[in-house]
């Protein structure tokens, strides 16, 4: 990604996270980036395209991190622990992308549908790991859809905790708490 496109990307991400999609204008993005509309339109055809690119890149980051990390473990509990830790780190480092994804989950516009699709695909991947772990006798038998949704839901819980405790937010403290409460309950 070239320098201008990256700046449009980062500025749009901040504005969408702070103000929301509807309240952010192309004019505001170009003013903050310091480029003409034509330059923005050279890189992106619309505000919707910027949004979809942001969401796509954010989800790819999360999914790639999960795939790389979980492939290193044979034990399914360790795979779930890795997912939880990555989710906490993603919330900590890329809070704006998570804010955008969560804020646009509801609704019927193309961007809302895309956010739902990305989140559901991500939850389905967690569900596959849970199913495999149950079949291997490493994870307690249960409703795989609920367990996967619960693990995904830790992203929301982490966002809430971070919002209320910014000064005290520590990735490993949050992870250790989740491990003590969530992971222990999943052990077969």
pLDDT in tens, 16-44: 999 999 999 999 999 999 999 999 999 99
pLDDT in tens, 58-115: 888 889 999 999 999 999 999 999 999 999 999 999 889 889 988 888 889 889 999 9
The CATH number that domain 52-186 falls under is: 1.10.357.10
- State the pTM of this model: 0.88
Q: Are both 1-45 and 52-186 of the same fold?
A: no
Q: 3-state SS string over the chain?
A: CCHHHHHHHHHHHHHHHHHCCCCCCHHHHHHHHCCCHHHHHHHCCCHHHHHHHHHHHHHHHHHHHHHHHHCCCCCHHHHHHHHHHHHHHHHHHCHHHHHHHHHCCCCCCHHHHHHHHHHHHHHHHHHHHHHHHHHCCCECCCCHHHHHHHHHHHHHHHHHHHHHCHHHCCHHHHHHHHHHHHHHHHEC
Question: Taking the domains of the chain in order of start, what are their residue ranges?
Answer: 1-45, 52-186
**pLDDT tens string 137-163:** 999 999 999 999 999 999 999 999 999
Overall CATH class of domain 1-45: mainly alpha
């Amino acid at each position: 990604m070239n320098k201008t496109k990256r700046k449009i990307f980062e500025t749009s991400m901040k504005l969408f996270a702070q103000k929301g999609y509807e309240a952010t204008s192309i004019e505001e993005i170009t003013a903050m980036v310091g480029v003409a509309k034509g330059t923005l339109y050279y890189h992106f055809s619309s505000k919707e395209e910027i949004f979809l690119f942001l969401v796509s890149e954010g989800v790819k980051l999360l999914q790639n991190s999960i795939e790389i990390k979980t492939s290193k473990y044979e034990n399914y509990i360790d795979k779930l622990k890795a997912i939880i830790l990555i989710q906490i780190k993603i919330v900590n480092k890329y809070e704006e992308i998570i804010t955008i994804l969560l804020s646009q989950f509801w609704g019927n516009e193309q961007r809302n549908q895309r956010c739902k699709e990305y989140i559901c695909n991500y939850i389905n991947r967690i569900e596959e790991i849970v199913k495999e772990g149950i079949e291997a006798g490493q994870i307690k038998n249960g409703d795989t859809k609920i367990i996967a949704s619960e693990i995904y839901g830790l992203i929301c819980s982490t966002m809430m905790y971070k919002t209320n405790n910014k000064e005290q937010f520590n990735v490993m403290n949050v992870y250790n708490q989740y491990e003590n409460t969530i992971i222990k309950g999943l052990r077969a």
